[in-house]
């Protein structure tokens, strides 16, 4: 057996020497910071695919090459069991794969410390080489063992490679269909290789239980695949699968994928809109901001166009009013009672002004504007761009001199708008890698109004603010937050709530932090749930909604997890741009080519 093992290592020597030479050259080149930044930016995104190709290529030739070159007959004539031949090849290939994979993983840590690549900073500051190898190598090992099994069944290396890639692709596709069937499952953590790239690996590093399970399962599966290869080869070492058998296998995988597609498309009950109307889209293809209340939908289309749509009778919607706002750019808006508060910037000299415009549609089809609230000059206050309203009070998140604040404005009719109060929730700490302050402002604060409490995320906390007296808000609790990666300090953490649970998005880790609101003044972390996509989430009563496929997915939180309930779609083939939830109804805005549609769904349960 020892001579056969050394033969295998000699056969693999050219590949190992070539990989070592390439690794050494790249390591030396990465000593140059400029080359390292450019190379590693591309390498991090392509490394999973390159590693997958290496595993498949290594396993594809070990058995099929011997059969094609007729050297397999020589091996079988020696006094050694056929199964032992497979095990020796598996052992030699595993060692070679470990060396190649180690070199590939080591390149992620090559060169001087990065200064501008966030993912690379995150990888080096959070995941060490041993952790990265522990996450990725068991998957590569399984792919290699699967390809070795296929190599033992065919007579050409190319056939084994194509079959290996086909099986890995089929498994990945079936897992994606599983995600469509069960959107909040952890199926992404079980992919043969990181098709989701670095974020999934980072998430496994921060979920010890999931990390242990995936490593143990993949490490057990690789020897089992090698055992299957040994048993099949021992039974008929001189035979191989015909082309017809391979075609039938490919057809079976395609049929299974088609069946999964049908199951995924019909798994959730479908809810059609109660009414829909076509509106004229903005030709500049710019963003759309939407809010709703009491059957009235407010739309900011483009930079300065404001529309009001009456969906009191969803079956017969109508345009209630439309107005242009010259020199205006809308950031966000919210409907409260009969008034709509529009936060944005107005062109002015010497610099633009941040204002809250107050609009009310009239029965005659006009729009009346009250005296606006002038918040600040654009260069004096940096606004995160969101606004919430409770009664006659508006809440605005703002960053002033690195202080994260919630400012409250009294917008009572008949009185001059004024600032009623301000609450300090956090302070931004300058970071050593020199991230621009504008990046902090874009996502440093997010807020969600739920009942009599305002929940605010900031770089280092989740804060609950009691607004039972809106003019005198009080901080009820502050839950400390520590970014899982130093370079992601100040990253956006979206909030959603159904009244019973509060969800906080960790986009980089692809999870929701699920908080229990049994005591709304003190949210209590109860668990984590997979984050399905990156779209906005909004709630209505006990359910939540999120863009999904060509419509919305209705889901709810229960026992620290999430469960999909219904699929809201109008049947048009395009994704939803924005949506709003109010008073037991959901309103969506969708653009299909040069046409735009607003649809209303009744979602009362």
Predicted local confidence at residue 587, as pLDDT: 94
Chosen domain end from 237, 265, 293: 265
Flag whether 29 is in a domain.
yes
User: What does the pLDDT look like over 336-377, one tens digit per residue?
Assistant: 888 899 988 888 888 888 888 999 999 888 999 988 888 765
**What pLDDT score was predicted for residue 478?**
94
Banded pLDDT at 287 (limits 50, 70, 90) = confident
Convert the pLDDT of each residue in 17-56 to its tens digit: 888 898 888 888 888 877 877 787 788 778 888 888 899 9
Mean pLDDT, the chain, rounded, equals 82
Angle between helices 129-151 and 82-107 (to 10 degrees): 150
**What DSSP designation does 526 have?**
E
Q: CA 605, CA 603: separation in Å to the nearest integer?
A: 6
Categorize the per-residue pLDDT at 457 as very low, low, confident or very high, splitting at 50, 70 and 90: very high
| Residue 284: band (very low, low, confident or very high) from pLDDT cuts 50, 70, 90 | low
Tens digits of residue pLDDT in 295-344:
899 998 877 889 999 999 999 999 999 999 888 888 888 998 888 999 88
Domain-ending residue, one of 239, 265, 291: 265
- The string of DSSP letters for 218-280 reads HHHHHHHHHHHHHHHHHH-TT----HHHHHHHHHHHHHHHHHHHHHHHTSSPEE--SEEEEEP
In a domain, 96, yes or no: yes
Res. 137: pLDDT tops 60:
yes
What domain range includes position 525?
Answer: 494-605
pLDDT of residue 379: 44
Residue 137 lies in a domain: yes
What's the domain count of the chain?
2
Q: Is the pLDDT of residue 154 over 80?
A: yes
Q: Are strands 353-361 and 367-369 parallel, antiparallel or unpaired?
A: antiparallel
Report the C-alpha gap between 139 and 145 in whole angstroms. 10
Full-prediction pTM beyond 0.75? Answer: yes
Q: Is residue 362 part of a domain?
A: no
- The answer to whether residue 208 sits within a structural domain is yes
Domain C-terminal end among 231, 265, 299: 265
Of 369, 395, 370, 378, the C-alpha closest to 344 is 378
In a domain, 201, yes or no: yes
């Amino acid at each position: 057996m020892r001579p056969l093992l050394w033969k295998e290592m000699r056969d693999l020597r050219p590949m190992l020497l070539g990989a070592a030479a390439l690794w050494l050259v790249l390591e030396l080149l990465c000593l140059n910071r400029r080359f390292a930044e450019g190379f590693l930016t591309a390498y991090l995104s392509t490394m999973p695919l390159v590693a997958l190709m290496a595993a498949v290529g290594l396993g594809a030739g070990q058995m099929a090459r011997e059969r094609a070159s007729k050297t397999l007959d020589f091996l079988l004539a020696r006094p050694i069991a056929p199964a032992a031949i497979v095990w020796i090849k598996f052992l030699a290939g595993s060692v070679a794969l470990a060396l190649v994979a180690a070199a590939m993983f080591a390149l992620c840590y090559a060169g001087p410390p990065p200064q501008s690549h966030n993912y690379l900073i995150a990888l080096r500051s959070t995941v060490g080489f041993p952790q990265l190898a522990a996450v990725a190598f068991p998957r590569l090992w399984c792919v290699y063992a699967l390809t070795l099994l296929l190599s033992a069944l065919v007579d050409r290396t190319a056939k084994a490679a194509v079959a290996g890639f086909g099986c890995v692709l089929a498994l990945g596709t079936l897992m994606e269909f599983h995600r469509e069937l069960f959107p909040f499952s952890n199926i992404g953590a079980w992919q043969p290789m990181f098709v989701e790239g670095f974020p999934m690996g980072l998430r496994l590093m921060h979920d010890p239980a999931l990390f242990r399970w995936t490593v143990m399962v993949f490490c057990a599966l690789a020897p089992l695949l090698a055992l299957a290869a040994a048993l099949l080869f021992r039974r008929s070492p001189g035979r191989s699968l015909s082309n017809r058998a391979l075609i039938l296998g490919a057809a079976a995988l395609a049929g299974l994928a088609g069946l999964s597609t049908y199951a995924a498309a019909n798994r959730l009950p479908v809810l059609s809109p109660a009414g829909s109307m076509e509106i004229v889209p903005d030709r500049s293809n710019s963003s759309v901001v939407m809010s709703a209340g009491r059957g009235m939908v407010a739309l900011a289309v483009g930079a300065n166009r404001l529309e009001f749509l009456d969906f009191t009778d969803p079956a017969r919607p109508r345009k209630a009013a439309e107005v242009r706002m010259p020199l205006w750019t809308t950031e966000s808006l919210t409907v409260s009672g009969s008034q709509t508060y529009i936060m944005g910037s107005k062109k002015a000299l010497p610099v633009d002004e941040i204002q809250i415009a107050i609009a009310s549609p009239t029965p005659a089809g006009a729009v009346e504007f009250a005296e606006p609230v002038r918040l600040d000059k654009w260069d004096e206050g940096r606004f995160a761009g969101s606004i919430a309203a409770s009664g006659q009070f508006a809440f605005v998140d703002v960053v002033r001199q690195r202080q994260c604040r919630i400012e409250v404005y009294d917008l009572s009719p008949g009185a001059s708008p004024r600032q009623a109060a301000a609450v300090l929730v956090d302070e931004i700490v300058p970071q050593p890698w020199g991230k621009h302050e504008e990046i902090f402002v874009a996502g440093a604060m997010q807020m969600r109004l739920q009942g009599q409490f305002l929940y605010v995320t900031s770089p280092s906390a989740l804060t609950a603010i009691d607004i039972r007296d809106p003019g005198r808000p009080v901080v009820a609790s502050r839950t400390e937050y520590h970014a899982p990666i130093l370079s992601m300090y100040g990253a956006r953490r979206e909030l959603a709530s159904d009244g019973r649970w509060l969800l906080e998005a960790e986009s980089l880790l692809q999870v929701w932090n699920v908080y229990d609101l049994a005591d709304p003044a003190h949210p209590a972390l109860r668990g984590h749930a997979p984050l399905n996509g990156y779209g906005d989430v909004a709630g209505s009563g006990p359910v939540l909604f999120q863009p999904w496929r060509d419509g919305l997915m209705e889901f709810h939180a229960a026992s620290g997890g999430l469960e999909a309930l219904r699929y809201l779609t109008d049947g048009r083939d395009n994704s939803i741009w924005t949506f709003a939830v109010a008073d037991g109804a959901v309103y969506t805005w969708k653009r299909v080519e040069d046409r735009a549609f607003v649809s209303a769904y009744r979602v009362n349960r």
